[in-house]
Amino acid sequence: MAAYALRRLIQFIPTIVGVTLILFLLLNVLPGNAALMAGGAQDTNVDATYIELMKKEWGLDQPLHTRYLDYMSRLLVGDLGKSFLRREPVAGLLASRIWPTLKLAVVAMGIAVCLGVPLGFYSALRQGSWADTGSMVGAVSGVSLPQFWLGLLLMFLFAVKLPILPPQGYGDGAARNIILPGVTLGVGYMALLARTTRAAVVEILNTDYIRTAQAKGLPAAVVNRKHVLRNALILVMTTAGLQFGGLMGHTVIVEKLFSWPGVGSLLVDSIFQRDIPVTQGCIMFLILVFLLVNLAVDLLYAVIDPRIEYR
């Protein structure tokens, strides 16, 4: 298994190189640049000499390939560069934002797993009943709700009408601040997970080995726990794992809406400000998380299902 993990880790390298290349090209062909943004382009007349000075300082006057090679050589030694506009190292900026995003993602995922999986399981066992139909209608709506709208709705209900929760902000990191953004982010995933679980369980319930188990007189509870749940978990875990990897990058809207100090809001700000090093750093981080979570999910298969073995 260790050998397999190592092999997978090595496979990350071409993926990352490819991503950096595409990202670098995209960001650099975008019109506009940070110097103009920093020069306060919109406010008043801009000091042209200042803009030239900054372009030079940031190496924006160099040809594209020189800049790319320079960026890659620094990346190799783990240097993400320095933010154009914040005049701070990107690594430090990113580090201060990881914890809030991680917290948000974990809370959202917790809501999704703790509610979505039992809901899907319950629906599958009572196929066709009103409870099944009801919860699946709910799930479809949950998947289709725009986060932005849901977030505002929750704010309106729990901060304006029933003022029991803060409408936005990180506060001092207190639990009450995370409830609204966590739920907003979690609902869609919960719905998706409920549907996946239901589909998996329904499929398993129709297999021969379940019929055998039921025929030999095993109590329903034992069948469900030992045979259905365990088999369904593989599929559910894949979905949940992939979701979690993506979740870190999907916090953007929720973070902006709730003034949440995470990687997502840093990423959006940096794109609008054309702060290329920060954008690159954020995306790099999100991709790494995605790859690592996928690897972790693959490795976990072996733990849950003894038939799967990595060589």
In this chain, which of 116, 120, 142, 167 binds other proteins, going by CB under 8 A? 167
In this chain, which of 78, 128, 163, 306 binds other proteins, going by CB under 8 A? 163
| Closer residue to other proteins, CB minimum distance, 5 or 36 | 36
Exposed / middle / buried, residue 145 (Cβ in 10 Å: 0-12, 13-18, 19+): middle
User: Is residue 155 at the binding interface for other proteins, with CB under 8 A as the rule?
Assistant: yes
In this chain, which of 10, 43, 208, 216 binds other proteins, going by CB under 8 A? 43
User: Is residue 61 at the binding interface for other proteins, with CB under 8 A as the rule?
Assistant: no
| Closer residue to other proteins, CB minimum distance, 160 or 215 | 160
Residues 113-142 binding other proteins (CB under 8 A) are none
User: Is residue 166 at the binding interface for other proteins, with CB under 8 A as the rule?
Assistant: yes
| Closer residue to other proteins, CB minimum distance, 39 or 277 | 39
User: Is residue 152 at the binding interface for other proteins, with CB under 8 A as the rule?
Assistant: yes
CB of 303 vs other proteins, minimal distance in Å: 37
In this chain, which of 20, 33, 123, 224 binds other proteins, going by CB under 8 A? 33
**Taking contact as CB under 8 A, which single stretch among the options 9-17, 80-88, 102-110, 299-307 is the one that binds other proteins?**
80-88
Distance of alpha carbon 118 from the chain centroid: 22
**Taking contact as CB under 8 A, which single stretch among the options 50-58, 122-130, 194-202, 291-299 is the one that binds other proteins?**
50-58
What distance in Å separates the CA atoms of residue 253 and residue 250, rounded to the nearest whole number?
7
**Taking contact as CB under 8 A, which single stretch among the options 27-35, 105-113, 199-207, 284-292 is the one that binds other proteins?**
27-35
Residues 238-257 binding other proteins (CB under 8 A) are 255-257
User: Is residue 302 at the binding interface for other proteins, with CB under 8 A as the rule?
Assistant: no
User: Is residue 62 at the binding interface for other proteins, with CB under 8 A as the rule?
Assistant: no
In terms of residues, how long is the chain?
Answer: 311
CB of 95 vs other proteins, minimal distance in Å: 11
Sign of CA dihedral 142, 224, 296, 110: positive
CB of 268 vs other proteins, minimal distance in Å: 7
62: left (phi over 0), alpha (psi -120 to 50) or beta: beta
Residues 263-292 binding other proteins (CB under 8 A) are 265-266, 268-269, 272-274
Q: Report the alpha-carbon angle 213-217-223, nearest 5.
A: 45
| Closer residue to other proteins, CB minimum distance, 257 or 291 | 257
Q: How many residues bind other proteins, per CB under 8 A?
A: 58
Question: For binding to other proteins (CB under 8 A), which residues are involved?
Answer: 30-33, 36-51, 53-54, 57, 85-88, 93, 96-97, 100, 151-152, 155-156, 159-160, 163, 166-170, 255-262, 265-266, 268-269, 272-274
